Structure 1
Amino acid sequence: MNREIIAILRGIGPDEAEAVFDVLIEAGISRIEVPLNSPKPFESIAKMVRKVSEDAIVGAGTVLDVEAVAELSAIGAKMVVSPDVCPDVIRAAKAAGMLSYPGVFTASESLAALRAGADGLKFFPAFKLGTDGFAALSAVLPKGTKAYAVGGVGPADFKAWCDVGITGFGMGTGIYKPGMSPSDVASRAKEIVAAYDSAFS
């Protein structure tokens, strides 16, 4: 099952990247993001990319410039997640054959991102927007737009977001915090997958 869950591993280091990657894949989460404000992020991403199976997608978050996109492309990353709508970053990611998920909160930002070629929209902070806010915004988005709720949304909230048409979720501290053991990450990932499968079944 191709679940629309992105694990956001902010703060992960290269020494733990492979072990955490393994438990996420085993739990059924195949989209993994390492924010670039983590320690040695390109090294962690490269280690995960070397382990990628056909269905997994590894990339970076907090991508702010085209130079970072070029470095990510060189190490084989397949996904660029940004906190903002920067058309240059979106176009660079698409030109390199990578998925682009910029952060948005308003209709103007959402449509600007889509016009620049974004594959999907990261609604952040989702808990501030809420399901009512997203439902209202989604009325003006093109049909089929992929939208992800990120920030303050946990497994208990999945069904409510599913009911208003969200595509998927980005999970940060709810799935990983620096210092967590792989077994801790695995147990959280399994809970998230179970809630996702229940909400979208």
Structure 2
Amino acid sequence: MSPTAPFPSLKRGLVAILRGLDPKNAVAVGQAVHAAGIEAIEVPLNSPQPFASITQLVEALPANALIGAGTVLSPQDVDDLNEAGGRLLVSPNIDAGVMTRAADHGMVTMPGVFTPTEAFQAIRLGASALKFFPASVLGAGGIAAVRAVLPKDVPIGAVGGVSEKDFVGYKAVGVTVFGLGSSLFKPGMSAEQVGERARAAVAAWDSAFGGGA
């Protein structure tokens, strides 16, 4: 099948997961995250009015921002995401219907995988990158064991129980993308609080990976 869009060259392999984001706070929080140096933002679809938040983020942030949705579970979700202007699709699982529709829209995809079987299925379906989830259960050692049999050019992401404290350990096994959820954002936090956490994550990334070039 046709591949989805290649994973872009972000300054930093960081994705802000804004689960529970309220549309009335979307722009302020998104701007704080982007200003800190995180270019990729996902709004999980089990958030309040997620497509409203995604539309606002797409309109408010610069063109280099990669905005999209998480917890995408159906082809209809993909169509709604496309209508909102989102380009990034993140899911907790690998689903052929979702991936086919994402390819139709030229989206960047990060489907969730846990086993070699799921990882190879995602690659066959054209995944832009693999999201090992929940990464805290697999750990760096588990991801390393699976990655040993995967094509070397597939970007590897770690999501789920991951914070900036884990960058160095995961980097050692080839992880280059991190999804930051509750370590970065929780509902009710102010944009200033989120920005502070985002800056700490960016500083840790730059320390581990040698800057945000």
Q: Which residue of 1 aligns with 2:157?
A: 148
CA apart distance, 1:167: 1.3
The SS at the match of 2:24 is helix
Q: Which amino acid aligns with 1:90?
A: M
**1:24 matched residue in structure 2:** 33
Report how far residue 91 of structure 1 moved: 1.5
**Superposition deviation, residue 168 in structure 1:** 1.3
Residue type at the aligned position of 1:7: A
* 1:117-136 matched pairs, under 5 angstroms: 117-136=126-145
Aligned-residue identity in percent: 48
CA apart distance, 1:54: 2.4
Letter in 2 for 1:163: A
Q: Does 1:43 align with 2:55?
A: no
Which structure exhibits the higher relative contact order, with contacts defined as CA atoms closer than 8 Å and separated by 6 or more residues?
2
CA distance in 1, matches of 2:39, 2:200: 15
Report matched runs for 1:81-160 at 5 Å.
81-160=90-169
**Aligned residue in 1 for 2:209:** 200
1: CA distance, partners of 2:100 / 2:152 = 22
State the 1:52 CA deviation: 2.9
CA contact (8 A) 2:167 2:205 kept: yes
Partners of 2:87 and 2:133 in 1: CA distance:
21
Distance 1:164 1:143 in 2: 12
Q: What one-letter code is carried by the residue in structure 1 that aligns with 2:119?
A: S
Question: What secondary structure sits across from 1:63 in the alignment?
Answer: coil
- Preserved CA contact (<8 Å) 2:158 2:177: yes
Stretches of structure 1 lacking an aligned partner (at least 5 in a row): none
Dislocated runs of 4+, deviation >4 Å: none
Equivalent position SS for 2:109:
strand
What's the CA shift for 1:147?
1.0
- 3-state SS of 1:143 partner: coil
Aligned residues: 201
CA deviations over 1:81-139 (Å, ceiling 9, x no partner): 11110011011111101111110100000010110011011111101101111111111
2:193 equivalent to 1:184 = yes
Give 1:57's aligned residue.
66
Question: Partners in 1 of 2:83 and 2:49 — Cα distance?
Answer: 16
CA distance in 1: counterparts of 2:160 and 2:82, whole angstroms: 27
Structure-1 residue corresponding to 2:4: none
Q: Distance in 1 between matches of 2:129 and 2:23?
A: 28
Amino acid at match of 1:153: V
Distance 1:116 1:82 in 2: 14
Distance 2:81 2:154 in 1: 25
The one-letter code of the counterpart of 2:45 is L
